[in-house]
């Protein structure tokens, strides 16, 4: 069965390779924001010092890392999911022996692989340009753990977007809900500012969106280690279990009331 999902991901990779210009254009999205933020924070911290324990190098590195992680996390899942509920094409999947959640998760991963590759290339370019202001971890385990938590964040982000799309079972259209929530989730992921600098930080650090950007960045910067990482890993695992289970539950309840032309 897993072969079916891998094939679906492979098909999406081939499809995305047909749009090389779009992928190259994506480099500008990766390059420009971190450079702009560098000049902003260089101005703020022009006289040295730090804010909340972040010096200029920490801030520059934090935003390079979180920009990549958060911008490459699928908070909207796949808009096609909600549209298929409205136009009735979901019925094509209900009669097939496939897991709807896994199918779209693998399709999404396949469609983003090329973008991730270009994104990493952009991060490397930015890091070279700002080499005097970037923190480069020496331990290979730091890179591994950062990516591991981000992968967990991808599942969390996808599950969140998947559930929002399933609201189309009950609402006329969930697309606008998804678009509205993306900006909020980007903030709660730590993309705009480190979560520990926000008021009521204990609340934001409780939510699962921190695993999409903030936590991987903290590990990358060496601000989190040992028992803290273990605790966050357990927390992330629990959130993944809750959101994936909720995704399947909502789909099961919604599909019971689903009707399409001819059935």
Query: What ranges do the domains of the chain cover?
Result: 2-256
> Cα dist. 91→164, 255, 261 in Å?
19, 9, 9
Distance CA 188, CA 209 (A): 6
pLDDT value, residue 257: 74
pLDDT value, residue 1: 65
pLDDT value, residue 211: 95
pLDDT value, residue 19: 61
Which of 42, 63, 46 is CA-nearest to residue 194? 63
pLDDT value, residue 28: 65
pLDDT value, residue 29: 66
Structure token pair of residue 182: 């993306």
Output the furthest CA–CA distance in the chain (Å, rounded). 70
Distance CA 224, CA 230 (A): 10
Distance CA 145, CA 220 (A): 8
Q: What is the pTM of this model?
A: 0.86
Altogether, the residues listed in the chain come to a count of: 263
Report DSSP letters for 201-228, one per residue.
HHHHTTSGGGGGTHHHHHHHHTS--THH
pLDDT in tens, the chain (263 residues): 677 777 777 777 777 666 655 666 666 666 777 777 788 887 877 777 788 888 888 888 998 889 888 888 888 777 778 778 777 778 777 777 788 888 888 888 888 887 788 788 888 888 888 888 888 888 899 999 999 999 999 999 999 989 988 888 887 766 777 777 887 888 899 988 899 998 888 899 999 999 999 999 999 999 988 899 999 999 999 999 999 999 999 998 888 877 654 44
């Amino acid at each position: 069965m897993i072969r079916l999902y891998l094939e679906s991901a492979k098909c999406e990779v081939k499809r995305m390779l047909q749009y090389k210009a779009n992928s190259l254009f994506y480099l500008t999205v990766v390059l420009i924001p971190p450079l702009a933020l560098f000049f902003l924070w260089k101005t703020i911290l022009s006289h040295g010092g730090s804010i909340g324990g972040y010096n200029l190098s920490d801030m520059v590195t934090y935003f390079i890392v979180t920009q990549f992680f958060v911008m490459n996390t699928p908070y909207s899942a796949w808009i096609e999911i909600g549209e298929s509920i409205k136009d009735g094409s979901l019925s094509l999947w209900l009669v097939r022996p496939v897991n709807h959640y896994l199918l779209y998760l693998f399709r999404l991963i396949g469609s983003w692989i090329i973008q991730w590759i270009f994104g990493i290339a952009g991060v490397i370019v930015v890091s070279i340009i700002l080499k005097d202001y970037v923190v480069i971890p020496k331990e290979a385990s730091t890179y591994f753990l950062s990516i591991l938590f981000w992968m967990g964040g991808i599942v969390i982000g996808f599950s969140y977007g998947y559930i929002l799309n399933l609201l189309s079972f009950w609402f006329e259209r969930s697309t606008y809900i998804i678009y509205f929530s993306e900006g909020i989730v980007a903030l709660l992921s730590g993309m705009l500012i480190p979560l520990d600098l926000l008021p009521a930080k204990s609340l934001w650090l409780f939510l699962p969106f921190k695993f999409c950007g903030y936590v991987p960045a903290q590990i990358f910067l060496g601000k989190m280690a040992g028992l803290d990482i273990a605790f966050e890993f357990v927390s992330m695992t629990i959130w993944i279990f809750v959101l994936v289970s909720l995704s399947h539950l909502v789909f099961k309840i919604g599909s019971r009331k689903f009707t399409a032309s001819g059935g």
